[in-house]
Chains A and B, each alone.
Chain A
Amino acid sequence: MFSTVKKISTMVIFLSVQACVGIQTVGPGPFDVQKTMQVTVGKEWTKYPFEPKTGLQGLTIDGVSLNSLTFGVNIKDGKALIYSSDPKTLVPRFRSDMTDSEAVEYIKDSLIYSGMKNVSLANLRPETFGIATGVRFDIAADTERGLNMSGTGKTVIHNGVLQLILYIAPTEYYYDLHIEEVNEILKSATLL
């Protein structure tokens, strides 16, 4: 029923275990994501270990359930943002011939698949992402338990692979708390 809660709980446990070995802080200053993307962060963020199976790298300031800045790097054709041990599992998968609006749709569907409810996109607009033109977008959603969430992000398909940055936080208080910092981070994104 509450699969998102389970996933978050599993993630929290995973991150707690990782705390002994892999959690570091980054910033203020430039931050390289897997030697593929670089952003400039204005505050100190906590960095969670890179997840090679999904290509996702997470940062947070107050904890992943309160603000989560996720980087997806070099997502190749056929890859899913949701990890499954069974490669035959039917999940939204990236296709290298997607249009930029389809790339945003792929991110949205991945959020829905992972348990977010009432996901809606707003304000899709072109925005430079390093040397390429990507798409900037805003998101509204609810967790399964009913917490209103807001988000913003940008994505680009360049040389057949997808890069993305997605910020999500509870709408009440936490989204606004760091949105100016996040907007600056998004503006600063370059591809290496």
Chain B
Amino acid sequence: MRTRFSYLFSALALFGLAACETTDVDPIKASERPEETSDEAGLWLQMDGAERLLKASAIVERDPALNDYVRGVTCQVIGEDYCNDVRVYVVKQPYFNANMAPNGQMQIWTGLLLRAENEAQLAFVIGHEFAHYKQRHSLQQWREIKNAANASLVFSAGIIAAGVPDAAVLGDITLAARLYGFGRGKEREADQLGFQFATDAGYDGHEAAAIWKYLVSEVENSDLERNRRQIARSSIFSTHPVTSERIETLTAFAEDGEAGTVRQREYIATTSPFLAKWLEADLVRRDFGENIFLINHLIKRGEGLGLLFYRRGEAHRIRRGEGDAIRALADYRKASSFEDVPATVWRQIGDAERTKGDGAAAMAAYQTYLEKAPEAPDRQLVKSYLNKLDE
């Protein structure tokens, strides 16, 4: 009995200490840096170290034109005062993602650039991420984690003291739900402020919800049931608002606002040189449902069709579902009628015809491939196919 009173006393003391940490912080000002002795400075120090690693890594896309463009959109959205406080990195990852560190390091993943349809959609993502920075969400989150962790410790200790050790796990679940609950609140705030930053910069508010609508449609076509379930329902552990709620909220914001610019032409002109490698990287994820849905979506633009039909053929070829070999060959043939088709389409047509048993068609395709790609890395291999077919 005395022991339980001791636990209770310690618990109340810990809870009292935890309650001292304030999570109420002012937005960061332009050019502001945290005081050296603060917990915020500690967070920045950690992130400065991570940023040095990122800068030197191979995952950063270094193309000057693309970086200048993304940086330009960022400064347009966040304003000149903050432009030097935020450093944007285009990160070579095929997933739809962006994130913001407390020290001003923003990451835009290539999977997001691949899926955004225009500059306005990119601007809303940038606005959202910048809101996290300006509102010091990471600092708030850090302090909430410390407070919640202390409270969870109290909860666990209390249950152990009561003689139900297994139930201590419940303390961790409560903690996780609470932390991620705070996360959802901040995401909502970031949506609202991000919308304001982007529309103030002149972008069309309707595009904020549009990128999420697209993402829902793509994930509904995922090969992975777990992904489809995530989009269909919320969970207490979800860090973001339920997607349907987010779409409704952003749509409502747009209805109250004025029309703005979309800048699709500029966006496509800047990103189209990267489509081939971004789509290839996306297929490595092996989510054929999402990949094919994405390509079909891009085909609707009516541009870059040689590349897009070729990439759809690649997805069908690698998936190897029923009828996929026929679909792949049809896509390759269609792709080959466009000027922007990669030369490798002819190698794939050759392989497909050779597998079908049409030696003459295979030879014709391989010869075209070698003519169009004299420096091809598989030149010797293809020559060996031709020799065999010629026997």
Contact = CB atoms under 8 A, between A and B. Distances in A.
B157 interface: no
Interface stretch (B50-58, B197-205, B228-236, B257-265): B50-58
Given A88-B224, A95-B320, A101-B351, A145 B57 contact: yes
Interface string A66-109: 00000000000000000000001011110101011110000001
Contacts of B25: none
A122 B224 CA distance: 33
B58 A146 contact: yes
A92 B56 contact: no
A89 B226 CA distance: 10
B58 A142 contact: yes
Contact of A124 (B58, B286, B320, B377): B377
B320 A99 contact: no
B381 A117 contact: no
Contacts of B378: 101, 121, 124
B59 interface: yes
Contact of B92 (A99, A117, A145): A117
Given A1-B54, A90-B223, A123-B377, A117 B59 contact: yes
A92 B320 CA distance: 12
Taking residues whose C-beta sits less than 8 angstroms from the other chain, chain A's interface range is: 20 to 34
Interface in B27-59: 50, 53-54, 56-59
Contacts of A102: 351
Interface residues of B, number: 26
Contacts of B59: 1, 117, 144
B17 interface: no
B92 A126 contact: no
Interface of A: 1-2, 88, 90-93, 95, 97, 99-102, 109, 112-113, 117-118, 120-126, 135, 142-146
Given A95-B320, A99-B351, A102-B351, 19 more contacts: A1-B54, A2-B57, A90-B285, A100-B381, A101-B351, A112-B281, A117-B92, A118-B58, A122-B377, A123-B377, A123-B380, A124-B378, A124-B380, A124-B381, A125-B384, A135-B381, A145-B53, A145-B56, A146-B58
17 contacts: A2-B57, A91-B286, A95-B320, A99-B355, A101-B378, A112-B284, A113-B285, A117-B92, A122-B377, A124-B378, A125-B380, A126-B380, A144-B57, A144-B59, A145-B53, A146-B56, A146-B58
